[in-house]
Amino acid sequence: MTKKWHGRLSNDTSCGPQKFHVGLTPRVGGIAIFLGLIVAWKFSPKPMSQLLGSMLIAGLPVFASGITEDISKNVSPLKRLLASMVTGAAAWALTGYSLNHLEIVGVDYLLAFLPVSILFTAFAVAGVTNAINIIDGFNGLAGGTLMICFAALGYIAWHVGDYQLAQLCLTFIVVLNGFMLFNYPFGKIFMGDGGAYLLGFILAWVAVMLPMRNPQVSVWAPMLVCCYPVNEAVFSMGRRFWKKSHLHEPDSSHLHSMIKIKIIRPNLGHLQGYIRNSLVAPFCWAYALLFASIAIFIHDQTGLLMIVCLGSFALYSLIYWGISRINVKEIVATRVDGRIASTEY
């Protein structure tokens, strides 16, 4: 309703290898999300508001870089990556938490040194932050995935008695729900880089704090909870390295893009565009929900969590390979022979 006032700056075009949406859509939902978190901070009990306030202050660099990209479209991926790392370091400075062990011989020895721990934490936070931005490709995809991750982390926190962190996760879910009312399924607004980077950082920091505040929770439990965006990011970097393309070069070969191109578009081409776009998310939500649920039940079993983390990547690779092998032209030809009237091809 308000894009007539800001659309010239905030609208996302439909041009580009990762652009599947219909029409011009504002991509400044991150501003509304940030304001919602400010309101939550204002009315939260003092202990929780102090922690949330620290997270919001720490998140300012990456949020600012994302919003600037949403409006100007000229902030390089490297600058946004550096902003993510600065945000991770700032979060340590404000909260005192950093990853000091991974239950891996040799690595834990290095992480015992605070400077190494801080650098590794900043790098890990930047990785998860950018991973959320990578999966922000279709209506509800990033928002729904974030809600699944926060729900799993919040449940684990509640289970081990960290009620403050559990309440924080619930707060994030409530704020996200407000955004999702406009984003899914109709795609009236996108969270944009500002929202994706801010919420990606918050997810990463909750994932850091949960095992650091609660030693009975394995550091690999949050990793398994976040395995969908993390696996997508790792797989994307590996794919681009293999193809000798730039690591930050956008493409339409992400899992969610492949689902749209290989499954949704040829089989459901008769549906309206926003409906087709909204049907991609449930496929990825199912994957995220599967492993987030497993993490809840084995959150204190490090060895098993490591194995399942590896299994999640193997399953992701298998799913990706299977979808990539689908011959779209054959599917379209079959459908044209009487099952549907037309497709986008």
Percent of the chain residues past pLDDT 90, beyond the cut: 73
191, 29 in Cβ contact below 8 A?
A: yes
Let me know how long the chain is: 345
Label residue 11 exposed, middle or buried (CB < 10 Å: 0-12, 13-18, 19+): middle
pLDDT in tens, 227-277: 999 999 999 999 888 877 766 666 778 999 999 999 998 888 788 878 899
How many Å apart are CA 246 and CA 49, to the nearest integer?
Answer: 41
Tokens of 25: 């859509």
What are the beta bridge partners of residue 26?
A: 11
pLDDT at 333: 39
Return the residue matching tokens 């011959």: 327
DSSP string, 210-235: HHHH-TTS-THHHHHHTHHHHHHHHH
The 3-state DSSP class for residue 12 equals strand
| Rounded (10°) angle between helices 29-43 and 60-72 | 150
How many Å apart are CA 149 and CA 147, to the nearest integer?
Answer: 5
Q: Where are the alpha helices (DSSP H) in 104-140?
A: 107-111, 114-135
Tokens of 133: 């931005």
DSSP class of residue 103 equals S
Q: How confident is the model at residue 24 (pLDDT cuts 50, 70, 90)?
A: low
Comparing CA positions, the residue from 9, 135, 154 lying closest to residue 72 is 9
pLDDT at 12: 53
pLDDT at 327: 87
Segment 174-183 shows an average pLDDT of 95
pLDDT at 335: 40
pLDDT at 72: 87
Segment 120-125 shows an average pLDDT of 97
Q: How confident is the model at residue 23 (pLDDT cuts 50, 70, 90)?
A: low
Segment 1-27 shows an average pLDDT of 53
**pTM for this structure?**
0.88
32, 149 in Cβ contact below 8 A?
A: no
pLDDT at 251: 72
How many Å apart are CA 334 and CA 9, to the nearest integer?
Answer: 43
Segment 169-188 shows an average pLDDT of 94
Q: CA 277 → CA 196, 206, 308, 330, distances in Å? A: 18, 29, 30, 22
pLDDT at 248: 65
Within a 13 Å sphere around the CA of 85, how many CA atoms are in the beta-carbon half? Answer: 9
pLDDT at 329: 62
Average pLDDT score over the chain: 88
Label residue 273 exposed, middle or buried (CB < 10 Å: 0-12, 13-18, 19+): middle
Tokens of 300: 């204190």
Q: How confident is the model at residue 158 (pLDDT cuts 50, 70, 90)?
A: very high
Sign of the dihedral through C-alpha 162, 168, 172, 174 = positive
Comparing CA positions, the residue from 226, 209, 197 lying closest to residue 291 is 226
Q: For residue 104, count other CB atoms closer than 10 A to its CB.
A: 14
How many Å apart are CA 307 and CA 298, to the nearest integer?
Answer: 11
Tokens of 210: 């949960």
How many Å apart are CA 334 and CA 325, to the nearest integer?
Answer: 17
pLDDT in tens, 281-335: 999 999 999 999 999 999 999 999 999 999 999 999 999 999 999 987 644 434 4
Q: CA 78 → CA 66, 67, 192, 278, 291, distances in Å? A: 12, 15, 17, 30, 30
Give residue 7's identity as a one-letter amino acid code.
G
What are the beta bridge partners of residue 11?
A: 26
Comparing CA positions, the residue from 33, 25, 34 lying closest to residue 6 is 25
316, 226 in Cβ contact below 8 A?
A: no
